[in-house]
């Protein structure tokens, strides 16, 4: 871990970003999914870009042909190792299970996915899948229009065992501090299933443009200076006590590898109509 002040300031810059515009018709966007499955593909050198997009097109084609009701967003890393993320939203763990069962019961779809996986595997160095549950009490202004989000910021936090209360108290300081800033938004997810799920959290902020990172840093500084010296020390102490490690990265959506609702293509053709 870095110095306590550095950790606290890093949290300030994380827990704020400009909110996205609501749907063009003024309808309220849906809340974040209660269950989020994130699949990660780490790519071999030189196998990203058009080569990987051509391979992933097999998965999109399989889902389209089967008229799958489960849509997903693909995105590529702009920082860290070269990798692709695939975000699958579900209303519940039961809905996730039914999706798995429906795929298994469709031999044509299952065979197409198996063949696509065989081809895609030749391009990868590593693959894993993480399953997260949404925590609305640790999120802020999270009901935003993600169909217009071109960039996504994800930061993972590894919380030390036995320090859940410290983590909860720390997050509450940020949700309270940014509650009056309508541009601030994030969705907090706790890992439920994978080899590192104990104490792993992911905080997700969708962004229309990377200008929102600049704005977020400014708002984070305002939040920090608004705290009293005693509260600044409390933030530093809580962060040092409960956070074992953290990592922040930014991703850009890849429309060619995504399988999104047709309404998204109509709402944001500048992003999704690039097939």
Give per-residue pLDDT as tens, 240-271: 999 999 999 999 999 999 999 999 999 999 99
**CA–CA separation, 177 and 226 (whole Å):** 9
Give residue 209's pLDDT.
96
Q: What is the pLDDT of residue 6?
A: 43
User: Is there a contact between 157 and 111 (Cβ–Cβ < 8 Å)?
Assistant: no
pTM tops 0.85 = yes
Distance CA 157, CA 40 (A): 17
Residues 130, 215 contacting (CB under 8 angstroms): no
- 3-state DSSP assignment of residue 156: strand
- Pick from 231, 249, 133, 237: nearest CA to 189: 133
Extract the residue ranges of the chain whose pLDDT is less than 70: 1-27, 196, 274-275
Query: Which domains, from first to last, does the chain contain?
Result: 4-257 (3.30.70.100)
For the stretch 208-237, pLDDT in tens is 999 999 999 998 999 999 999 999 999 999
The pLDDT assigned to 266 comes to: 93
Taking alpha carbons only, the member of 214, 257, 246, 201 closest to residue 83 is 257
């Amino acid at each position: 871990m870095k110095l306590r002040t550095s950790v606290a300031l890093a949290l300030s810059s994380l827990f704020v970003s400009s909110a996205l515009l609501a749907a063009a018709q003024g309808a309220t966007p849906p809340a974040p999914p209660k269950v989020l499955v994130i699949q990660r593909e780490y790519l071999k050198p030189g196998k990203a870009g058009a080569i990987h997009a051509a391979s992933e097109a097999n998965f999109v084609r399989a889902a389209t042909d089967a008229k799958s009701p489960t849509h997903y967003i693909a995105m590529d890393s702009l920082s860290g190792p070269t990798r692709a993320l695939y975000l699958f939203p579900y209303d519940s763990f039961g809905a996730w299970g039914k999706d798995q069962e429906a795929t298994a019961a469709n031999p044509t779809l299952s065979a197409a996915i198996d063949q696509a996986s065989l081809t895609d595997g030749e391009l990868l160095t590593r693959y894993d899948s993480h399953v997260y549950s949404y925590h609305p009490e640790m999120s802020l202004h999270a009901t935003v229009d993600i169909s217009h989000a071109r960039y996504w910021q994800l930061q993972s936090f590894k919380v030390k065992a036995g320090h859940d209360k410290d983590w909860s108290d720390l997050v509450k300081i940020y949700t309270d501090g940014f509650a009056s800033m309508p541009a601030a938004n994030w969705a907090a997810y706790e890992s439920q299933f994978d080899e590192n799920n104990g104490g792993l959290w992911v905080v997700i902020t969708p962004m229309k443009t990377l200008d929102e990172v600049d704005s977020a840093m400014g708002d984070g500084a305002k939040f920090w200076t608004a705290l009293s010296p005693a509260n600044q020390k409390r933030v530093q102490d809580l962060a040092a006590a409960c956070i074992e490690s953290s990592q922040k990265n930014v991703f850009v959506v890849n429309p060619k590898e995504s399988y999104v609702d047709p309404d998204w293509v109509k709402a944001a053709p500048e992003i999704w109509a690039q097939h």
